[in-house]
A and B are shown apart, each in its own frame.
Chain A
Amino acid sequence: MTAKNITDRSTPLLQVENLQTGFKIDGDFYNAVEGVSFNVNRKQIVGVVGESGCGKSVMSLSIMQLLPQGIGKIRGGEVKFEGQNISELSDKKMNEIRGKDISMIFQEPMTSLNPVFTIGYQIEEVILNHEKISKKEARLRSVSLLKSVGIPRADKIVEEYPHQLSGGMRQRVMIAMAIACQPKLLIADEPTTALDVTVQAQILDLMKGIQEANDMAIILITHDLGVVAEICDEVLVMYAGKIVERATVEELFNNPKHPYTDLLMKAIPRMDEDVEVLATIDGLVPSVMNMPQVGCRFANRCPAAMPECLTVTPQLGEVGVNHETACLLYENSWPADAKSQREGASMA
């Protein structure tokens, strides 16, 4: 066996450290993800929530190294998978990891399958890329995979083309492809956003079932807090390219600390209560091209903003058991130098 498998089980499966991903606009790079750090443990389901443009998808593409070539670039930080830094691997080496150890499913089951190849061919392609088995064996594997994701008439479906299937069925096929080589980590980018609620329920159940059966970890990227509450263990809330809060799912929903998280939760109409007026967040996310260099990025929209929020950049600091937030309302979010300055000022 390779060294990989001997790696200590206690090290996190994925470690993202100070990741910075930039995009080239008119010749200059602007960071869409700015210093994001987090860990994913084995068998853990980590949710990443945030509104459009917060950098959650760019972050996942950075982990997979699927950024658009020449435009997007990892500009700093490290991504370690089982202790190995994968952010500097060659394309060839990365290809061995993609689809085998880490795989990904996307939002659009309509566009992420190739319309001119059969379902079976597309699943077998993944298997044959990573394993030395015959085509016949691969076909048998893909039929049993399709069965395991709940597709009826799997032996017939392998011969069919993507357009012959419904959206929910296509997403099942995507999942079958993603789990074909029993990856240790699945990155799911808005996997149920394009689906109806009853189908979404089926897909979430399926993902949870596979996660338990295969001991797989999942990074679930979504804008839907309901989905997060449903299946995640831990949640990262992102705003304007940064993580503003990280907590276990219970902590986050019962005890949100960051004003952004709090407003986000009050902005959604709820089934379990009647609210006449929903909370709103005024203003807009600053554009990536003129992001404030110091201070909190949410300050211009935050109802609790203080003068310091414009000059002191908050850090992720502990606010509870397994709960961190980056907001100056909390002592631990103050960077050390600013804290001592502030104490000095209050003394005088």
Chain B
Amino acid sequence: MTTRDFIQDRIDSLENRDVLLEVQNLKTYYPVTGGFFKRTIGHVKAVDDVSFTIRKGETLGLVGESGCGKSTTGRTVLRLMKPTGGKILFEGKEITKVSGSKLQRARRDFQMVFQDPYASLNPMQMVGDIIAEPILNYEKRDKKELEKEIKALLTRVGLPEAAYYKYAHEFSGGQRQRIGIARALALNPKLIVADEPVSALDVSVQSQVLNLLKELQIEFDLTYLFIAHDLSVVKHMSDRIGVMYLGSLVEVASNRDLYKEPLHPYTQALISAIPEPNTAIKKERIVLEGDVPSPQNPPTGCPFHTRCPMAMEICSKEKPPLKEVRPGHHVACVLY
């Protein structure tokens, strides 16, 4: 089977699967405080009205530049942060407002892999204990049996069994990320949010971790929300991709449609800006002027209109909604 057939097969099989996660009009604002009494004087609209769904077994990639709200989206979905508005439905059940022990129970099904493998592992704990902790949060287990299980898990992510007794500092960056992945897998979760899991790694190690994540997805039937700033990495990992800009989703499409035919002017600029390791390709580059505006004081209307090469008068007045302009291809732009 060629890669192309494989991808087509995957797309076909995914279309019939149940929705695992549905996010409706999600809003997450950070308060900005000022003055002597630390009164709230404004909000940073980190995530502003974002909606998407992820099917079981699918990978949804979120890309965007720093400060676009992609990480906040991931954290809010896991309820590590309180949403300001909107709904999060996990397997049809609303988890937007649950708290306390109910939230803890729900969290069993979703785990996170963090960006920084140096900061996300406790330096005082043995690797075995790091991985055991999430399990022991939920179940009482026989010590010997648990140890065996964790060692099997370590082997599965490509680490020696002896890693069980070691400490995080004894490992390289790539190996630490494997430990982080083993920890996320420990509870057999349904959804894994991977927030920039490879951006701290060298390319040769990055490819090992990406390959591992793909293998595990098929083996354990995992669903990923894959967050990264590197478009080529996101393209490699995802079935569908959402592009974020300044707290809004501006385009959502299947992996292939997005790269073959990006519709939103921001996506077009983003794709054209990536330097490709191929001297034969000389791309027409769209160089954007200026910087991303501050999310504390976002422009009115379309968030991108201040830098958009196609901006029209209407763009500064109304924020275009995300709509399906082609089958499976959603874009938020008045051009369509």
Contact = CB atoms under 8 A, between A and B. Distances in A.
Contacts of B214: 276-277
Contacts of B152: none
Main secondary structure of the interface of B (DSSP, over half): helix
B204 interface: yes
A150 to B, nearest CB: 9
Contacts of B139: none
A51 B236 contact: no
Interface string A248-287: 0110011000000001110111111011111111001000
Contact of A271 (B4, B6, B211, B235): B235
B3 to A, nearest CB: 5
A335 to B, nearest CB: 28
A229 B277 contact: yes
A230 B277 CA distance: 8
A41 to B, nearest CB: 19
A270 B207 contact: no
A169 interface: yes
Contacts of A276: 3, 6, 214
Contacts of A168: 291
A281 B204 contact: yes
Interface residues of B, number: 43
B272 to A, nearest CB: 8
Most buried by B among A196, A199, A205, A250: A196
Given A249-B279, A253-B277, A196 B203 contact: no
Interface string B252-288: 0000000100000000011111111111110001011
B273 A197 contact: yes
B161 interface: no
Interface string B178-212: 00000000000000000000000011101110110
Interface of B: 3-4, 6-7, 65-66, 172, 202-204, 206-208, 210-211, 214, 229, 231-233, 235-237, 259, 269-281, 285, 287-288, 290-292
Given A269-B236, A271-B235, A278-B210, 10 more contacts: A51-B203, A166-B291, A197-B270, A198-B269, A200-B275, A201-B285, A223-B202, A271-B274, A272-B276, A280-B208
14 contacts: A196-B65, A197-B65, A198-B287, A200-B275, A201-B287, A229-B279, A269-B233, A269-B235, A271-B231, A274-B3, A276-B3, A276-B6, A278-B210, A281-B204
